[in-house]
Structure 1
Amino acid sequence: MTDLKQGLRVAIVGLGPRGLGAVEALILRAREAGLHLQVDAFDTVDHPGAGPNFSPDQTDCCLLNTPARALDIAPDPALGKRVPVFDAPDTDANDADHFPTRAALGSYLADRLSQVRALNSDVLSLNIRKRTVSDVEQRADGLWLETDGAWIGPYADVLLTLGQPQTRPDDQLAAWIDHVAAGHGALRAAYPDRALLEAAQGWAGQTVAIRGLGLSTMDVLRVLTTGLGGEFTASGYRRSGREPARILPFSLNGQPPAPKPVSQAVDQLFDLSDRELASIIDALCSGMQQGPDGALMTFCAGLAPPVVRILDEVGSPATAADVDRWLATEQTDPGGQATLPPLQTLQHTIAMAEGRSPADVGFTVGQVMRKLENAIRKAFNPETVLPQTAKALVGFNEGLSRYSYGPPLRSARELLMLVEAGVVSFVEAEDPDIEMVDGGWLLRDGSEQRRATVMVDAVLPPPDLDRVTEPLFEALRRKGWITPVAEGLGAQTAADGGLIAARGQGVTNLCLLGRMALGSVIAVDSIHDCFGAATHRWADGVMQRHATGGGQAPQGLGNNPPE
């Protein structure tokens, strides 16, 4: 049994926002236990606490898709007054719903980590090691980590919070990489945005295609326009002459995501009563005990009544049968009901977000799902769900992200101005035929075709464990210590993040939180989740394991009622 008075040595691999949240949660538990913590955090980023997604080095082109008023990530008061609360420095007092830059949030997170490190040394010794971990080994005295050819340990517990690890490119992207290596065109990733901006200095007058039409594309468009000196004015977009002549974003369905409501007043139109929220979550919990088809039917049956009520109140009445039919189709054909051309979709969703047009079924369902996000996590994440049921529920939630995880209204308005200025074209937006040709790519849609000399990849790889090439994950796969929930999903984990091995047994004291556990958890791509209940369940697990003998926590540990 670990002697709590002697302290506890823990390793955290990955020190972005989720790693920071884990450190904070562990500090709180250690104080309660009178335990000294020695935490070794492994990460090669220049700004620990922020991670690459929120690097303070980013340009101002990259915006959060959550307004400042909704960033509920305040530190626990028990950490003390020194640990700051986020106050967006770039807030415009005249902007009712301000969306901060990612760099601003990253600066805050890096500062927050600095203040956490300055806490009473009797509670925490945090050592940040700028190294990459490539393997984990279980020995008699604990867990050891291989990094740069050396083994470091022993650790009582190891937590993996790597975010998005290295991933094998899909077939299309792999072919393009070979095409560019042979001297044809230029291929760039959307991030880091400063690298993209530097490359774009030589793209004036060229045609640039963008694979993807989601949130990342909005960042790319700002990099290629305002980042190169262009300006959005009251009368439209004003070219600088340094930007590409034409930008061609495309995706499988060609539909731009719906923006967030313009203000809190419009957003409140989609609020749920306590009774409605409880009823939907009851339906979700009931569905989680069923097979995939039954799970979706049960959950949607709970979701439909509030949607009908809201549609009536916003002046777009629909029958229960209308909403049921829309939800049923969404289960089998996500996004297939979006039949308007991309430009009309953009105009329509802007009007709904502004409150000028009544919300339709899809927009309303998306806003309701956004407001349910935290409650869904609390109900789903601590429980054990059948793999195919988990896959169905996760897929349904991800499919609605075009509404629920949409960009700021400002981004949608800017996209519309770029189309009107002829900078962006939607002609080839919907799943065009793409041919690799000398000097680049030829995009065809029916009789229309355009040649692009540059391709920007703005598609985030899915958290598909089978495609991960990160050496650490490959080592865990060889040991059988990490297995996917289902095809296309992330790792099987217990409620406290404990990895579940190939034969269903827990991996002693080795845990994983975040995106690569999608399927065991849901709605992970949120800054709120980084500081949410998952990190506290992990910290509780650490304390309980080592207070009762240092082994894996009982399987039922995390199956407590939702917080």
Structure 2
Amino acid sequence: MIGLGPRGLGALEALAEGCPAGIGPIRVDVFDPFPAPGAGPNFAPDESPLCLLNIPIRDIAIRPPGYSRCGDFADWLAQDAEPDTFPTRADLGRYLQIRLGELLAHEALSITLIPEPVEGLTRAPDGWRVQAKGARPAPYDEVLLTPGQPAVTPDQQWAGWQDHAAHSMAEVHQAYPATRLIEAAGGWNGKTVGIRGMGLSAYDVLRCLTTAQGGVFRDGRYIPSGREPARIVPFSLDGKPPFPKPETEALDARFTPLEAETLAFSMAIAEAAEAAPDSARQRVTEALAPVVARILAETGATKEACHVADWLQTEWNAPGTQETRGSLDMLHHGIALAEGAEPPTIGYVVGQVWRKWQDQIRAGFNPAQTSPETARLLIGFDEGLKRYSYGPPVSSAREMAALVEAGLADLDLATDPEIEMCDAGWRLESKGRRTEVSVMIDAVLPSPDLAAVKDPLISDLVSKGHLTAAGDDLAASINPEGQAIGRDGSVRDGLCLLGRLALGSVIAVDSLHDCFGEASRRWAQGVLRRLG
């Protein structure tokens, strides 16, 4: 296994559980130089406690394997854990490290952790040879790649900004690790800081620049410490902050589909995955629209219930264009929806229902033989709805609103500002407003584009034809068991890939739950079948 993290951990847990008793341990070498390999960088146990998950405790359903004694995450975290709390990434990382410890003691697997990077991978007649310190000299029967999001070549804009910062007094930083950002931000008092991206990472960045510098949120207001930047300017292409999730379990329950509705959708998404694009769109719409209309009627938005089909048609073709409010207005609107202070809109209901159907979406799409055209359609729809379904805690949205009220955060330039480099750093301009920033923070998650990946191992596998894109704008092609499909269209026996770099062959890969779901179990079953 090359890389571990939650996805690799979930895969090995599935392999341990599926291994028949009494056949002797399967030897597994795990190559991962990260010091907490079960957690991985995204959930590093030493990450700042200011970095939160975007899932409340009540919705974290990564149940432990049958042999585990640590219990599920909520039980491990605290016996009286508040179900509406959004835990920290670091807490989850510590839990995953405990799960890794239990796995290392499982009799079905003989696991050796090798804290070394893999330099190369070569196909041999009887397996795959791994070039790394500590690798066995004989070929491995199976190799699983779980690289998460490897480093990529910066896009043209960011590459230009990096070069500008290298030759001026300006600075560029990444959002993570947050501990590193917090340390750097200690020297930004009085400066104006730009944040590229307004997704979930932007909220972590805001806390790194404010409460991590000694400020306090109290009674809906922000009380500064005096060590913060003078001003913080988040921006993105559409300038729209994501919609927060419903604040309480009771509010969230309003969006739960009925059992019969979920069954109908499960059938529809499975059929859609193997259909032509127009038929796929129709099947999903027919299953989704009546559920959304029912919920709207039950929650007091009867007039909107009549327009669901029209809203969905527009969303398929132009996601996000139906929200026309300004950035600050959209922020307050999202807070009101999450609090239940306003009747839910069509988009908000669609997003929450779609969130609750993520397992069904993966179960229908991932094992299917989906054409590139249909894959792009369904993945585009899923990605577009992330502004609702992957939203932050409402507390994070309130924090952003409080920072705006305190004059510290500025959303007037949030929507696709014109940006030019200047002596001081960058000059942002939008609708007659202009400001200069001297620090830029990148809070944009790169797309899983194989051509942009800088990791030499992945690049080498692509150049040799062992990994290839499933289609234009899609990531690597794999079969339902995770086996790589090469440039010539043939399966690469013994070479498998799970995770973001397979987006297109699989869907909804950014969910933590996907790491411990059916994709891992299908891979494990395939390994056991091939090993006999």
Same fold (TM over 0.5): yes
Measure, in 2, the Cα distance between the counterparts of 1:200 and 1:88: 36
Partner of 1:110: 97
What is the TM-score normalised by the length of structure 1? 0.92
Shift of 1:440: 0.7
Among candidates 73, 82, 90, match of residue 86 of structure 1: 73
> Is structure 2 residue 283 aligned with structure 1 residue 294?
no
Shift of 1:343: 0.9
SS at the partner of 1:248?
strand
Measure, in 2, the Cα distance between the counterparts of 1:243 and 1:93: 35
Among candidates 311, 314, 318, match of residue 333 of structure 1: 318
Measure, in 1, the Cα distance between the counterparts of 2:245 and 2:5: 26
SS at the partner of 1:337?
coil
Q: Kindly tell me: are residues 80 and 175 of structure 1, through their superposed partners in 2, closer, same or farther at Cα, counting changes over 3 Å?
A: closer
Partner of 2:49: 60
Measure, in 1, the Cα distance between the counterparts of 2:135 and 2:3: 18
Q: Which residues of 2 match residues 342-353 of structure 1 at below 5 A? A: 342-353=327-338
Deviation sequence 1:252-279 (CA, Å, 0-9, x none): 1000000010111000000001111112
Shift of 1:32: 4.0
Partner of 1:486: 471
Q: Kindly tell me: are residues 140 and 286 of structure 1, through their superposed partners in 2, closer, same or farther at Cα, counting changes over 3 Å?
A: closer
SS at the partner of 2:20?
helix
User: What amino acid is the match of 2:391?
Assistant: G
Partner of 1:39: 28
User: What amino acid is the match of 1:443?
Assistant: L
Q: Kindly tell me: are residues 118 and 414 of structure 1, through their superposed partners in 2, closer, same or farther at Cα, counting changes over 3 Å?
A: same
Shift of 1:151: 7.3
SS at the partner of 1:180?
helix
Shift of 1:319: 5.7
SS at the partner of 1:502?
coil
Q: Kindly tell me: are residues 259 and 274 of structure 1, through their superposed partners in 2, closer, same or farther at Cα, counting changes over 3 Å?
A: same
Partner of 1:550: none
Partner of 2:227: 242
Deviation sequence 1:66-110 (CA, Å, 0-9, x none): 111111112122x243x5432477769584501100000001111
Measure, in 2, the Cα distance between the counterparts of 1:493 and 1:324: 34
Q: Which residues of 2 match residues 103-502 of structure 1 at below 5 A? A: 103-120=90-107, 123-147=108-132, 152-318=137-303, 322-502=307-487
SS at the partner of 2:123?
strand
Partner of 1:560: none
Counterpart contact for 1:209–1:455, Cα < 8 Å? yes
User: What amino acid is the match of 1:20?
Assistant: L
Counterpart contact for 1:73–1:531, Cα < 8 Å? yes
Among candidates 35, 38, 48, match of residue 49 of structure 1: 38
Among candidates 513, 520, 541, match of residue 498 of structure 2: 513
Shift of 1:182: 1.2
Deviation sequence 1:284-303 (CA, Å, 0-9, x none): 22222322233223211211
Measure, in 2, the Cα distance between the counterparts of 1:535 and 1:541: 10
Measure, in 1, the Cα distance between the counterparts of 2:279 and 2:77: 47
RMSD of the TM alignment (CA)?
A: 1.7
**What is the count of residue pairs matched by the alignment?**
532
Q: Which runs of 5+ in 2 are unaligned?
A: none
Counterpart contact for 2:48–2:179, Cα < 8 Å? yes
Measure, in 1, the Cα distance between the counterparts of 2:77 and 2:96: 15
User: What amino acid is the match of 1:477?
Assistant: V
Measure, in 1, the Cα distance between the counterparts of 2:530 and 2:354: 36
Q: Which runs of 5+ in 1 are unaligned?
A: 1-11, 548-563
Measure, in 2, the Cα distance between the counterparts of 1:517 and 1:131: 24
Q: Kindly tell me: are residues 253 and 53 of structure 1, through their superposed partners in 2, closer, same or farther at Cα, counting changes over 3 Å?
A: same
What is the TM-score normalised by the length of structure 2? 0.97
